[in-house]
A = this chain, B = another copy of it.
Amino acid sequence: MADATRDIENLIELMAKLPGLGPRSARRAVLHMIKKRGLLMTPLADAMHIVAATARECLNCGNIGTSDVCDICTSEKRATGELCVVEDVADLWAMERGASFAGRYHVLGGTLSALDSMGPDELRIPKLVDRVKTEGITEVILALNATVDGQTTAHYIAEQLEGLGVSVTSLAQGVPIGGELDYLDDGTITAALRARKSF
């Protein structure tokens, strides 16, 4: 079974690199896909090829789209003057599922962290300051995770925005201490957004 094993082992090894999957769950997933070749494995492979070929990071905000500048950044409707800063695209998706925010986003791609040696440049913070100056932003909402790194990053950003005449707020109610945004239900995010307070 040399060749089949090699191809299948290769697939299992690649699957095991996905977050949340270990070797055992990767094996289970691969067996499940082999059983559902036509209905699942081939459509999944096709969907991956399409997304791999078309998805790209928005040069303006870091969101994932199919063009150099994403649809939220190009939509005039989203030019409300509000700019929501999130750590990750998953958090942007969580905010959009809440459907209570009409403005634009700025995706940092992480948090300031001495351990990971992530600095302001890696986090698009200079770009954020630039956008605040040029996009008619009146309010920056810091929707960062309630973790130590998230809050350190929020304070750093607030400092950088001082003197630019922009109101800096943060999500308040509903985000539990140590909690991560992407785990919250849509209602909690909506409540936290409505009750946002001055930073």
Contact = CB atoms under 8 A, between A and B. Distances in A.
Interface in A1-49: 1-4, 7-8, 10-11, 14-15, 17-21, 24-25, 27-34, 37-38, 40-49
Interface string A46-61: 1111111011000000
A65 B60 CA distance: 48
Total identical chains: 2
A37 to B, nearest CB: 5
Nearest to A43: B14
B24 A29 contact: no
B14 A25 contact: no
A65 to B, nearest CB: 4
Contacts of A1: 63, 65-66, 70-72
Contacts of A72: 1
Nearest to A94: B27
A41, A47, A48 pick with most chain B CB within 10 angstroms: A48
A186 interface: no
B8 A90 contact: no
Interface string A63-107: 111100011100000000000000011100100000000000000
A182 interface: yes
Contact of A7 (B8, B43, B47): B47
Given A19-B32, A41-B52, 9 more contacts: A7-B50, A8-B51, A14-B47, A15-B44, A27-B182, A28-B182, A33-B52, A38-B52, A41-B48
